[in-house]
Amino acid sequence: MQQGSAAGRRIQELRELIRYHDHRYYVLDDPEISDPAYDGLFSELQELESQYPELTTPDSPTQRVGGTPSPEFASVTHRMPMLSLNNGFSSVDVQSFDRRVCDALRVSVVDYSVEPKFDGLAINLRYEAGIFVQGATRGDGSEGEDVSRNLRTLRSVPLRLRGQAPSSLEVRGEVLMYKQDFLELNRRQIVNGERSFANPRNAAAGSLRQLNPLITAARPLRFMAYGVGEVAGAELLPTHAELLDWLKALGIPVTAQRQVVSGATGLLLAYKRFEAERNSLPYEIDGVVYKVNRIDWQERLGFIARAPRFALAHKFPAEEAITEVLGIDIQVGRTGAITPVARLRPVTVGGVTVTNATLHNEEEMRRKDIHIGDFVTVRRAGDVIPEVVQVLLDKRRSDVRPYIFPTVCPECGSDVAKPVGESIARCSGGLICPAQLRQSLVHFASRRAMNIDGLGEKIVDQLIGAGAVGTPADLYYLKHSEISALQRFGEKSAENLLYSINASKRTTLPRLIFALGIRNVGESTARDIARHFGTLDDIMNATVEQLLEVKDVGPVVAASVSQFFGEHRNREVLERIRAGGVVWEEGAPLLPHGDPLVTGKTFVLTGSLQSLSRNAARHMIEELGGVVTGSVSARSDYLVAGSAAGSKLDKAQALGIRVLTESELLAMLGRQVEGKK
């Protein structure tokens, strides 16, 4: 009896904890614990209630499905309950599930429909005569929230079904957010100074349960169906797989990642496939759902208090864990991005030992209030570097220390600056920062920059490894002996590379500006800046205000250029480039052969050109002051149409834009070209 009394106290404690976390998760969309931690509490309660059935009460969370509806939305009573699923965590759980199903049906083998377990918000869509009339959240399974107005803003929710729709149809599924859309939403939230979301599920739930549908409409939400509730006016389909095909034919989204397998062996093989493909899917999944495929067998198996007997959710291993922040280091990326990284007390997450986790940037680190010595929740997804999800403030000790973000680059000592409109701080060292050196050299030598033929990534790596090159300027001081000493280099190959380096010394100012790798400055912008100022010195000494006078240069580009040339060590590298023999024409008009038919005009290229590549055509047009864009609009002046021209030609003709053949373009440019460039 004493043991039962202890069990009763623990059962009561677990029920209160689960109710509290249900409210945080389902109503406030602000969970305090991870899904695996919640599952652990729920499983413990189920186990205790199975040992002491006399202690089970009707209001226990095990007898319910989820949270209670929010009072801010009208309530909807589900005509058929929206139940949850029992969970399995191991192959033994799956084998036991299959055995129970086979025993209950008195058969030896059962076919199952296998689908991903979406990590979203469960929704019921109601259609009358094929017209969408109402949408509701699952709520507590019996009663949910009316979110019809918000659901109408989702393009993936059809307002009218296709084909022969039943007189009444309830579609069950989940509202979710794709991974890439979630990252972009959080980026916008942070830029706008608003709260970012912990994960796509919370982002989807928070977005759908907005009182203002305009906010929901601005969020990238999607709907994915997995079953039905009440159906009237349609024949019962024999299998769940056919049911999903029918929903798809009606215009309702269903996952393409679904299949039918036989027995426990088939289930476990499908699970392994989903686990392997999990990170390549566009949306988050936290497991796999198994359902007996035959509908009549589903009806025979029936339900228990909160879940169907014919289905099981096989959850993936926990990808979150709690650990301690031992320190915070700074990593400098290849583009100069300054990223704080937490050094962690080693912890196993998803079967892998984790010792580091990204903190993304200074703003995110401050928002999460991360201190050295804090206990934090860490999340890992596949091979992606783990991240710190949140600080466990209730575990914070008095001896934790805030981290002071650096103002100079730890790699090169250059100033750290945060570009206008960005949340990521960057090293301004550019040409002299060791962390950025490899990318700087590869870009500097590329064909559209200094065009050093033969200087690829592998040779760059060797030059850096040998200590022969520390900045792009060092390329112009390389000796034959330094190059020939590289792996797989002989006399002739060393001579060829030296020849290419020497040939690159005669260049143009736009190419040089582009080669410097200034952030946000591409070929077109480099050309505009060179055309506007005429000399390198004038560009280097230009103020932000003067840079803003350049065509198509805005505050972000102007700040990037000003910061780059404001770093004295970048100027020193440029002086060494000049001293190394690199020359370019300055002061003279950049386009001596400009033609009024081309200069300032906008061209679009489409189809296959015969005598030159699109790239060569683009360069020829740009040399004469023209602009090449990728799409046809009313502002386009010419469309150059090669063979197999498609929709762009149709659009240009509809807009009355002049269409040029390849020979007409060449005549306009005054060039005769033989062979592809």
Q: Does one domain contain both 238 and 350?
A: no
Q: Does one domain contain both 14 and 140?
A: no
* Highest mean pLDDT: which range of 257-271, 311-325, 636-650: 257-271
Which percentage of the chain shows pLDDT scores above 90? Answer: 36
User: Within a domain: residue 70?
Assistant: no
Tens digit of each residue's pLDDT (9 = 90 or more) over 255-269: 999 999 999 999 999
Q: State the Cα–Cα distance between residues 260 and 267, nearest whole angstrom.
A: 9
User: Within a domain: residue 593?
Assistant: no
CATH number, residue 21: 1.10.287.610
Phi, psi of 361 (to 5 degrees): -160, 175
CATH number, residue 573: 1.10.150.20
Tell me how far CA of residue 579 lies from CA of 431, 474, 576, in angstroms.
Answer: 16, 11, 5
Q: State the Cα–Cα distance between residues 602 and 483, nearest whole angstrom.
A: 44
User: Within a domain: residue 453?
Assistant: yes
Beta carbons of 149 and 208 less than 8 angstroms apart: no
Q: State the Cα–Cα distance between residues 16 and 224, nearest whole angstrom.
A: 33
User: Within a domain: residue 677?
Assistant: no
What is the pTM assigned to this prediction?
A: 0.46
Q: Does one domain contain both 336 and 207?
A: no
CATH number, residue 174: 3.30.470.30
Q: Does one domain contain both 100 and 58?
A: no
**C-alpha of 180 from chain center:** 3
Q: Does one domain contain both 335 and 304?
A: no
CATH number, residue 649: 3.40.50.10190
Res 425 pLDDT > 60: yes
Q: Does one domain contain both 49 and 103?
A: no
**pLDDT band for position 92 (cuts 50, 70, 90):** very high
Those residues with Cβ within 8 angstroms of residue 630's Cβ, 6 or more apart along the chain or in another chain? 604
Q: How many domains does the chain have?
A: 5
Which position among 117, 291, 315, 601 bears the catalytic label? 117
Beta carbons of 118 and 285 less than 8 angstroms apart: yes
**Average pLDDT, stretch 570-594?**
77
Instruction: Give the three-class secondary structure for 352.
Output: strand
Max CA distance (Å), the chain:
101
Higher pLDDT, 328 or 26: 328
Q: Does one domain contain both 463 and 341?
A: no
**Helix runs in 67-132, H state only:** 91-105
User: Within a domain: residue 409?
Assistant: no
Q: Does one domain contain both 184 and 231?
A: yes
At how many degrees (to 10) do helices 35-51 and 2-22 cross? 150
User: Within a domain: residue 651?
Assistant: yes
Q: Does one domain contain both 310 and 324?
A: no
Would you call 675 exposed, middle or buried from its count of C-beta atoms within 10 A (0-12, 13-18, 19+)?
exposed
Q: Does one domain contain both 620 and 651?
A: yes
Stretch among 105-109, 415-419, 471-475 having the lowest mean pLDDT? 415-419
Tens digit of each residue's pLDDT (9 = 90 or more) over 179-237: 889 888 888 887 777 777 767 888 888 888 787 778 888 888 999 999 999 999 988 89
**Average pLDDT, stretch 174-183?**
90
Beta carbons of 374 and 396 less than 8 angstroms apart: yes
Read off the tokens for 517: 């790798």
State the residue for tokens 């149809």: 169
Range of the domain at 147: 77-315
Q: Does one domain contain both 259 and 113?
A: yes
At how many degrees (to 10) do helices 263-277 and 91-105 cross? 140
Q: Does one domain contain both 566 and 461?
A: yes
**pLDDT band for position 539 (cuts 50, 70, 90):** very high
pLDDT of residue 592: 40
Q: State the Cα–Cα distance between residues 113 and 119, nearest whole angstrom.
A: 18
Tell me whether residue 601 is one of the annotated catalytic residues.
no
Tell me how far CA of residue 627 lies from CA of 132, 521, 524, 650, in angstroms.
Answer: 48, 16, 9, 21
Count other Cβ atoms within 10 Å, centred on residue 542. Answer: 20
